[in-house]
Amino acid sequence: MPTRILTPEYVNGIFKGLKISPEPKAEPAHGLTPPALNKSIQYKRCMLQLRSKGDRPLEKYIFLSSLKQYDEEMFYAILMANMPEICPLIYTPTVGDACLNFSHIYRKPEGLYVSIEDKGSIKNVLRVWPHKDKARITVVTDGSRILGLGDLGVNGMPISIGKLSLYIAGAGFKPESTLPICLDLGTNNAKNLDDPLYLGLRRKRVDDKEMDEFMDEFMHAMAEVFPNILVQFEDFSTDHAFHYLERYQNTAKVPVFNDDIQGTGAVVLSGFVNAAKLSSEASGRDLTDHRVLFLGAGSAGVGVAKQVMSFFTLQGLSEEEAKSRIWFIDSQGMITADRPKLQAHKIYFARKDYSGPPLKNLLDIIDYVKPTALVGLSTMRGAFTKEAVEKMAELNPRPIIFPLSNPVSLSECEFKDAIEWTDGKVIFASGSPFLPYTYKGKEYYPGQGNNMYVFPGIGFGGVLSKCKHVTPSMVENASLALAESLTQEERDMGLIYPKLTRVREVSMQIAARVIHVAQEEHVDRNAPLRHMDDEHLLEFARKRSWYPRVPSS
Ligand SMILES: O=C([O-])CC(=O)C(=O)O
Ligand SMILES: [Mg+2]
């Protein structure tokens, strides 16, 4: 039996003051605000107040979060005009701190909490969401693997909220069409369970069987209550991430994708396409001869490797040949097929062509594999040591080094170090942002291989096409559209990803491509769009994209 009593009073009470959908707002009545206050001054005051918090990012997060609640349009105007400054505050890395502290800094409802105690009546809980008919995109986490921070339980909610803010700023979803959801299936995090202020259920996680039953009911209920929604799974623990993607991606009545597996994979493939070209220009090596070594074999690592395989298959290699260009290291060393008790998701990439003693040390493995690219999704801070990066630079005139773990405190290496250790030769992308670095008088720009470049466009294209499913080809094409979106200026700067300031335009290109592929694969249900050519699809996406009505200066 649910413990919550969903009386109208309860529902009205909990949402009182929750501004999920600002209807066109009346200006505050004359006399209630100081005479000179207007939106432009308010914008400047907000920026001033934000910046006055100096280098206290969590305080900035809290400030921005309350700004979003009392003046949503102002929040988005500020975010969109200052993406490089604000993204790291509402998203990785600061969102990691917000999650760790969520039970202490929580103020107001911003999404739905569905707990194991709601099993049997999940539909009723979903129905409390205002504007049910407007919901088009949801980010659903169970808090079990938040960034690289592990099981945070209900404290994972800010990740759903942060990603949806980027769906809005990045692609132009209307704020009221977004729905953050945190599933509370317990937590195995002792720190949470010992914290008297922890806001989730005070119990260990349920077993897999009970979780399956819960998830099946949840997905059915979602399709019934929100028939037009697209579901993005986020930060589920590795086994569950793969399991629920497979369980629902072709069968659920609403389209589903997993951002950690597919979004991260797509964004890294895109960066790799551009990086491999730069690296091959320097080495003369054929594109099909790249060799990619992954450190970390969780949902993101394996998801990324599967996408990177399509780099090779697009060059004409077979699946087996493509797979042979990829090596994995996990906590026990290089993954080989003869290792006993390999987890299911690691078997595919386990090497069958190695028979020596187990290789455990990164330097030995680099010596053996001779990679052109080193990709980290290990959440092991500093795992790409000076010696390892120097060895990569000995092997390659332009080594590709992607330390992709989030947040920044768990990055496998820092941008500054990668530049110095390779004497500026590195082609670099990280998961969380680093600042540009000047070395020997030249300014170098880090790439940010974060799924924020693709999920807004995948979601927007998926929703505009009214797709039944998100297919692998839609994801792969999102990635290629991102790779192709670089301007000449960005290429001249040596970038492998477009500038963050262009993310809206890039998302439109991705969305248009996603619609096109949904049509080719007959998973679209928006028939009138079928008559549009690519240029019209792009125009259509741009027209449907939401902007805050606030002057941005
Ligand atoms: O949230 C991010 O920055 C990227 C991501 O999905 C993760 O690290 O789990
Ligand atoms: Mg994630």
Query: Which sequence spans correspond to the domains of the chain?
Result: 8-254, 262-447, 454-544
Tens-place pLDDT, residues 242-258: 999 999 999 999 999 99
Instruction: Compute the distance between CA of residue 180 and CA of residue 110 in angstroms, rounded to an integer.
Output: 7
Ligand 1: which residue has its CA nearest to atom 3? 92
Query: According to DSSP H, which parts of 131-288 are helical?
Result: 157-166, 190-194, 208-225, 238-248, 264-283
Q: Residue 479 above 50 pLDDT?
A: yes
Ligand 1: which residue has its CA nearest to atom 2? 92
- With a pLDDT cut of 70, the percent of the chain lying above it is 94
Catalytic residue among 163, 306, 391, 468: 163
Number of H helices, E strands in the chain: 24, 14
Instruction: Compute the distance between CA of residue 401 and CA of residue 404 in angstroms, rounded to an integer.
Output: 9
Quote the pLDDT of residue 17.
43
Instruction: Compute the distance between CA of residue 292 and CA of residue 305 in angstroms, rounded to an integer.
Output: 9
Asked: is 262-447 a CATH 3.40.50.2300 domain? The reply is no
Say whether 163 is catalytic: yes
Nearest ligand (C-alpha, residue 234)? 2
**Choice from 232, 264, 454 to test ligand 1 binding pocket (greatest atom count within 8 A of CB):** 264
Catalytic residue among 43, 76, 91, 497: 91
CATH, range 8-254: 3.40.50.10380
CA of 158 to the centre of ligand 2 (A): 11
Q: Residue 7 above 50 pLDDT?
A: no
Contacts of 449 (CB under 8 A, 6+ apart): 267, 268, 271, 402, 404, 429, 430, 431, 497
Instruction: Compute the distance between CA of residue 12 and CA of residue 2 in angstroms, rounded to an integer.
Output: 18
Q: Residue 29 above 80 pLDDT?
A: no
Q: How many CB atoms lie within 10 A of CB 527?
A: 9
CATH, range 454-544: 3.40.50.10380
Q: Is the peptide bond before 407 cis (omega within 30 degrees of 0)?
A: yes
Instruction: Compute the distance between CA of residue 340 and CA of residue 325 in angstroms, rounded to an integer.
Output: 23
Instruction: Compute the distance between CA of residue 128 and CA of residue 112 in angstroms, rounded to an integer.
Output: 8
Q: How many CB atoms lie within 10 A of CB 405?
A: 26
Quote the pLDDT of residue 205.
98
Q: Residue 551 above 80 pLDDT?
A: no
Q: Residue 23 above 50 pLDDT?
A: no
Tens-place pLDDT, residues 331-382: 999 999 999 889 988 999 999 999 999 999 999 999 999 999 999 999 999 9
Tens-place pLDDT, residues 102-156: 999 999 999 999 999 999 999 999 999 998 999 999 999 999 999 999 999 999 9
CA of 299 to the centre of ligand 2 (A): 10
What is the pTM assigned to this prediction? 0.92
Q: Residue 27 above 80 pLDDT?
A: no
Contacts of 468 (CB under 8 A, 6+ apart): 255, 523, 524, 525
Ligand 1 neighbours by CB, cut-off 6 Å? 92, 147, 235, 259-260, 406, 431, 450-451
Tens-place pLDDT, residues 224-238: 999 999 999 999 999
Q: Residue 18 above 70 pLDDT?
A: no
Say whether 445 is catalytic: no
- With a pLDDT cut of 90, the percent of the chain lying above it is 90
**Could you give phi then psi for residue 276, rounded to 5 degrees?**
-65, -35
Among candidate residues 385, 391, 423, 387, the one with its CA nearest the CA of residue 403: 385
Tens-place pLDDT, residues 447-474: 999 999 999 999 999 999 999 999 999 9
Interface ipTM > 0.95: yes
Partners of 448 in the β-ladder: 430
**Contact assessment for residue 537 and residue 515, using Cβ atoms and an 8 Å cutoff:** yes
Tokens of 63: 């400030």
Residue type, 76: Y
Quote the pLDDT of residue 187.
98
